[in-house]
DNA sequence: CGGTATCCAATTTGATACTG
DNA sequence: CAGTATCAAATTGGATACCG
């Protein structure tokens, strides 16, 4: 996270969410706080290892916070920070485009 | 490209541009038609092999067209299709976010 | 110039087992 | 439950050479 930032703003964004899994994690956290296990279910196809490493990296970039509840069994919750939440417009435009791309194919 | 499309519109979009290089190629082609060599220069850090394979896959998804001019030396131009161009709002929101993320760090 | 082919190194991922 | 550790397998990436 102490990487130097590229000059191009698009590249800055890519540096933080330029990977499929992060976008999907983001999509699901935009609906609200989720537990590790919930994310594992909702982000279809992701493995535990990959989910963990992406969450760690998103934590480092201050996109998500991780809260551990000292219970048995343990519970860990992930929540978007304000910065993380501010990515919503990007996700929204991706959703709009995907939807229209699909409609177009059905014509 | 005959892959089945996911139900989630965000995933559809990711299937087509869910990789760093495609986004950067897109960013540069939004400014207009470019030759292979120009892209290789403007997409900093990309290798010939990776540029070629991404352009092929974007062609298959109908995001770009490839035009070969039978000259010596040969010239090959890449242009966004209408569908490819319609991705602009996504790139725009990524640029806006990246810009604001950077400003925030400077405070 | 704009590729393709080949080979090899590096990175990423997957599967499984184990633990506080 | 939410991880970490480990090792093998698969995918991706770089370097180089060659071609129409």
Query: pLDDT (tens digit, 0 to 9) for every residue of chain B, 107 residues total?
Result: 445 789 999 999 999 999 999 999 999 999 999 999 999 999 999 999 999 999 999 999 999 999 999 998 999 999 999 999 999 999 999 999 999 999 988 76
DSSP lists the bridge partners of residue A4 as: none
**Dist. CA B42–CA B27, nearest whole Å:** 10
Q: Which pLDDT belongs to residue B1?
A: 42
A84, A86, A91, A97, best to mutate vs chain B, most B CBs in 10 Å: A97
pLDDT digits (tens, 9 = 90+) for B32-57: 999 999 999 999 999 999 999 999 99
Does A104 contact B at CB distance below 8 Å? yes
Q: What sign results for the dihedral spanned by CA atoms B50, B56, B59, B60?
A: negative
User: Measured CA to C1', what is the nucleotide nearest B20?
Assistant: D12
pLDDT attached to residue A3: 57
Give me the CA A74–C1' C16 separation in Å, rounded.
Answer: 22
Q: Which residue has the tokens 């394979």?
A: B53
pLDDT value of residue B3: 57
Contacts of A93 (CB under 8 A, 6+ apart): B89, B90, B92, B93
Q: How far is A94 from A74, CA to CA, in rounded Å?
A: 35
For residue A73, the SS3 value is coil
CATH of the domain at A78: 1.10.10.10
The H or E element spanning position A67 is strand A64-69
Tell me the mean pLDDT in the region A70-84: 95
Whether A75 CB is under 7 Å from strand D: yes
Each residue's pLDDT tens digit, A18-53: 999 999 999 999 999 999 999 999 999 999 999 999
Please classify residue A94 by burial: count the beta carbons closer than 10 Å to its beta carbon, then call 0-12 exposed, 13-18 middle and 19+ buried.
buried
Residue A97 sits in which domain range? Answer: 2-105
**pTM over the 0.85 mark:** yes
Q: Domain tally for chain A?
A: 1
Answer yes or no: do A89 and B99 touch at CB < 8 A: no
């Amino acid at each position: 996270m102490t990487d130097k930032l590229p000059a191009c703003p698009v590249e800055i964004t890519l540096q933080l969410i330029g990977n499929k899994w992060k976008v999907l994690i983001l999509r699901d956290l935009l609906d609200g706080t989720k537990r590790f296990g919930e994310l594992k279910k909702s982000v279809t196809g992701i493995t535990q290892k990959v989910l963990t490493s992406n969450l760690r990296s998103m934590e480092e970039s201050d996109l998500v916070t991780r809260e551990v509840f000292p219970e048995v069994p343990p519970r860990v919750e992930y929540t978007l920070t304000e910065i993380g939440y501010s990515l919503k417009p990007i996700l929204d435009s991706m959703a709009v485009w995907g939807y229209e791309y699909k409609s177009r194919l059905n014509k």
